[in-house]
């Protein structure tokens, strides 16, 4: 078991497969000319598998693949299939642009559920947010995966003045299709132009939905970061991930491995522990994993509190989201 000093058991690992991406979401990848990490410095496919096995032997039973965009990696299929053979629930967060090429691989890997990110239902706004013209491709791929009975969660980063006017359009989508929309409060990362007045909170989101719909709150599963709701009679559900206004650190069970093999004990941790270099040197990395998790802060990487109005984003020491793995 991997536990921290607050007795939180860490059984959920997010692995970033790459910091490369084919979109340029401004809140995630601040600079258009960001230089991606050279392949030799990334964990190789066999290294990802070997590191995953060490975590699994020590109690990890859920792995989420992320990035960057996991599906831009040339050996993505090999990595997914190798991890699918391990005794772990495997899932993924993707921008959805390449999913059609991976339908058979994901079926073979028995990955029944996945998160697809889409912040707007308007093509022009999508282009503004991501600096790329891939809206139709993603919508088509969401439909393709729904048709193939995948449990599809749609991640929507909610930003005041940008897409808060689309909240009820997303909820309307859950009426006839079994999509599970997850509104994510906008979070501060290095260089991403975050200011507290752009956060549209959990409570504000629910107020907007309640102006149009009668909603019911669904029960939270253990370790769930999402507060779940549904409109009675709708096929899908919606949820809010309230990291900023109501953090869920008390039940945190997550660790993150960056694409260059650094362990982050929290999304907002200041420090990280290099596992890849000692692993390549043949050293035992288990003590490093335990040390890193033991040093985990009680909440939000010890860098801020839920009083988010007083956060100065430029004072937070962290990577940009694309280099962490969301
Ligand atoms: N490329 C994949 C994707 O877009 O789904 C996986 C990586 S992405 C970093 C993972 C998730 O983090 C996405 O749902 C994205 O919208 C979310 N994300 C990125 N930056 C964020 C921010 N500043 N605040 C909240 N969520 C963010
Ligand atoms: Fe790429 Fe996902 Fe970040 Fe957008 S959110 S830039 S798709 S990694």
C-beta 237 within 6 A of ligand 1: no
C-beta 67 within 6 A of ligand 1: yes
pLDDT in tens, 65-109: 999 999 999 999 999 999 999 999 999 999 999 999 999 999 999
Query: Which CATH number goes with the domain that contains 258?
Result: 3.20.20.70
Residue 50 belongs to domain spanning: 12-324
Spatial CA neighbour of 262 closest among 49, 45, 51: 51
Please give the number of the atom of ligand 2 that sits closest to the Cα of 69.
Answer: 8
C-beta 187 within 6 A of ligand 2: no
C-beta 120 within 6 A of ligand 1: no
Buried b (16+ CB within 10 A) or exposed e, 10-27: bbbbbbbbbbbbebbbbb
Looking at the domain assignment, is residue 63 inside a domain?
yes
Looking at residue 1, its pLDDT comes to 94
pLDDT in tens, 162-218: 999 999 999 999 999 999 999 999 998 877 888 889 999 999 999 999 999 999 999
Looking at the domain assignment, is residue 1 inside a domain?
no
Looking at residue 223, its pLDDT comes to 80
Looking at the domain assignment, is residue 227 inside a domain?
yes
Distance 286 CA to ligand 2 centre (A): 31
pLDDT band at 284, cuts 50/70/90?
A: very high
Looking at the domain assignment, is residue 73 inside a domain?
yes
Give the residue, by CA position, lying nearest to ligand 1 atom 20.
28
Helical residues (DSSP H) of the chain, grouped into ranges: 45-57, 76-84, 103-108, 123-130, 135-147, 167-176, 202-212, 276-280, 286-294, 321-324
C-beta 184 within 6 A of ligand 1: yes
Distance CA 132, CA 117 (A): 14
C-beta 93 within 6 A of ligand 2: no
Distance CA 144, CA 147 (A): 5
Looking at the domain assignment, is residue 4 inside a domain?
no
Looking at the domain assignment, is residue 250 inside a domain?
yes
Looking at the domain assignment, is residue 64 inside a domain?
yes
Residue 32 has pLDDT above 70, yes or no: no
C-beta 258 within 6 A of ligand 2: no
Spatial CA neighbour of 66 closest among 12, 107, 138, 105: 12
Q: To test ligand 1's pocket by mutation, which of 21, 93, 192 has the most ligand atoms within 8 angstroms of CB?
A: 93
Domain count, the chain: 1
Distance 115 CA to ligand 2 centre (A): 13
The pLDDT mean for the chain works out to 93
Looking at residue 31, its pLDDT comes to 72
Task: Please state the separation of Cα 63 from the chain's center in Å.
Answer: 12
Distance CA 325, CA 65 (A): 9
C-beta 71 within 6 A of ligand 2: no
Query: Among residues of the chain, what percentage have pLDDT more than 70?
Result: 99
Q: Is this structure's pTM higher than 0.75?
A: yes
Region 47-51: mean pLDDT is 98
41 versus 301: which is more confidently predicted?
41
Looking at the domain assignment, is residue 6 inside a domain?
no
C-beta 115 within 6 A of ligand 2: no
Distance 294 CA to ligand 2 centre (A): 30
Ligand number with the minimum distance to the CA of 116: 1
- The token duo for 47 is 């290294």
């Amino acid at each position: 078991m991997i536990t921290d000093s607050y007795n939180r058991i860490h059984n959920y690992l997010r692995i970033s497969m790459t910091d490369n991406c084919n979109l340029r979401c401004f809140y995630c990848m601040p600079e258009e000319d960001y230089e991606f990490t050279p392949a030799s410095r990334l964990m190789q496919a066999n290294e990802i598998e070997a590191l995953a096995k060490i975590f699994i032997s020590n109690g990890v039973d859920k792995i989420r693949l992320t990035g960057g965009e996991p599906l831009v990696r040339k050996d993505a299929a090999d990595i997914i299939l190798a991890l699918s053979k391990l005794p772990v629930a495997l899932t993924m967060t993707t921008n959805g642009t390449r999913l059609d090429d991976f339908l058979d691989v994901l079926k073979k890997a028995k990955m029944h559920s996945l998160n697809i990110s889409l912040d707007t239902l308007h093509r022009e706004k999508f282009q503004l947010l991501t600096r790329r013209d891939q809206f139709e491709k993603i919508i088509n791929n969401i439909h393709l995966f729904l048709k193939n009975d995948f449990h599809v969660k749609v991640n929507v980063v909610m930003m005041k003045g940008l897409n808060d006017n689309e909240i009820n359009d997303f909820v309307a989508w859950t009426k006839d299709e079994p999509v599970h929309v997850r509104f994510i409060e906008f979070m501060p990362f290095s260089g991403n132009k975050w200011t507290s007045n752009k956060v549209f909170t959990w409570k504000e989101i629910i107020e907007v939905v309640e102006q149009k719909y009668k909603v019911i709150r669904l029960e939270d599963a253990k370790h769930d970061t999402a507060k779940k709701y549904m409109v009675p009679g709708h096929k899908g559900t919606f949820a809010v991930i309230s990291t900023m206004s109501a953090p869920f650190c008390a039940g945190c069970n997550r660790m993150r491995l960056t694409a260059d093999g650094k362990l982050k004990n929290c999304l907002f941790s200041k420090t990280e522990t290099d596992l890849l270099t000692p692993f390549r040197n043949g050293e035992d990395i288990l003590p490093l994993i335990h040390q890193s998790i033991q040093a985990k802060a009680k909440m939000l990487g010890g860098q801020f509190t839920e009083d988010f109005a007083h956060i100065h984003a430029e004072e937070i020491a962290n990577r940009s989201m694309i280099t962490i793995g969301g």
